[in-house]
Amino acid sequence: MLGASGSVGGVLVGALLRSGAFGTVVTVGRTSLPAQLAEAKSARVRLREVMVPDMTPEQLQQATSNAVDALEGEVVGLSVLGIGAGTAKLTMAQHRDVDVALNAAFARGLAATGKVRHLALMSAVGANAAASAQGSGAAGTSRYNRVKGEAEAAVLASGLAVVSVFRPAMIIGSRHTPRLLEMLLPLFSWATPVKYRSIRVEQIAAAMVATAHRTPPASAVYHYGEMLAMG
């Protein structure tokens, strides 16, 4: 798993540990997360942390392949890596360096082992690799959507047989979502198109665990309605 230190990532790790479906959970990241190790000990599930302090695409790809090669049995990949806030302050290249380059490297590292068929990837509603590259790059703008779309395309081109793409809208429970929005948005859900409705971090995690537990027959994109049904 990639992105364990984020708001969705932390909840997803907990969901994987409690599911009872996985003998070992491997996280790939820059630093150790002691709270997750303690949670794994309590759940009696092995959690292995693979440290990649110099998080370049090359280093990440190699570390991912090495981690998979050390595992036995069926292996499934999950990534919730992405820049959660402040994308308007970044250049498009800086945004791509994380969301596109690192997710692509992770997917290539999984595919290179020949042991992984399926990757569950969190993207964002509106992702579109053909969207305009103009604008601020803030969440929901065309440039932001383009970077997310490029990340999806790069992962799909990695050679993995199945890629499950999750596209949440506003995420409730993320440290990057203003508290006021978390309180107000659900009140207007009746007037919001289904795929743009706000969703809780726990609901995203439950849907991703469901697809990781039972690999879908083909690559697909999942929005709010599908995620709730799977969770």
Question: For residues 195 and 61, what is the distance between their CA atoms, to the nearest angstrom?
Answer: 32
**What pLDDT score was predicted for residue 196?**
84
φ, ψ (nearest 5 deg) of residue 47: -115, 120
Q: Model-level pTM?
A: 0.93
φ, ψ (nearest 5 deg) of residue 61: -60, -45
Helix (H/G/I), strand (E/B), else coil: 218? coil
Residue 150 pLDDT > 70:
yes
**What pLDDT score was predicted for residue 182?**
55
Residue 43 pLDDT > 70:
yes
Dump pLDDT digits (tens) for 164-186: 999 999 898 655 545 655 565 66
Question: For residues 196 and 125, what is the distance between their CA atoms, to the nearest angstrom?
Answer: 7
Other C-beta atoms lying within 10 Å of the C-beta of residue 225: 11
Q: What is the mean pLDDT of residues 63-87?
A: 95
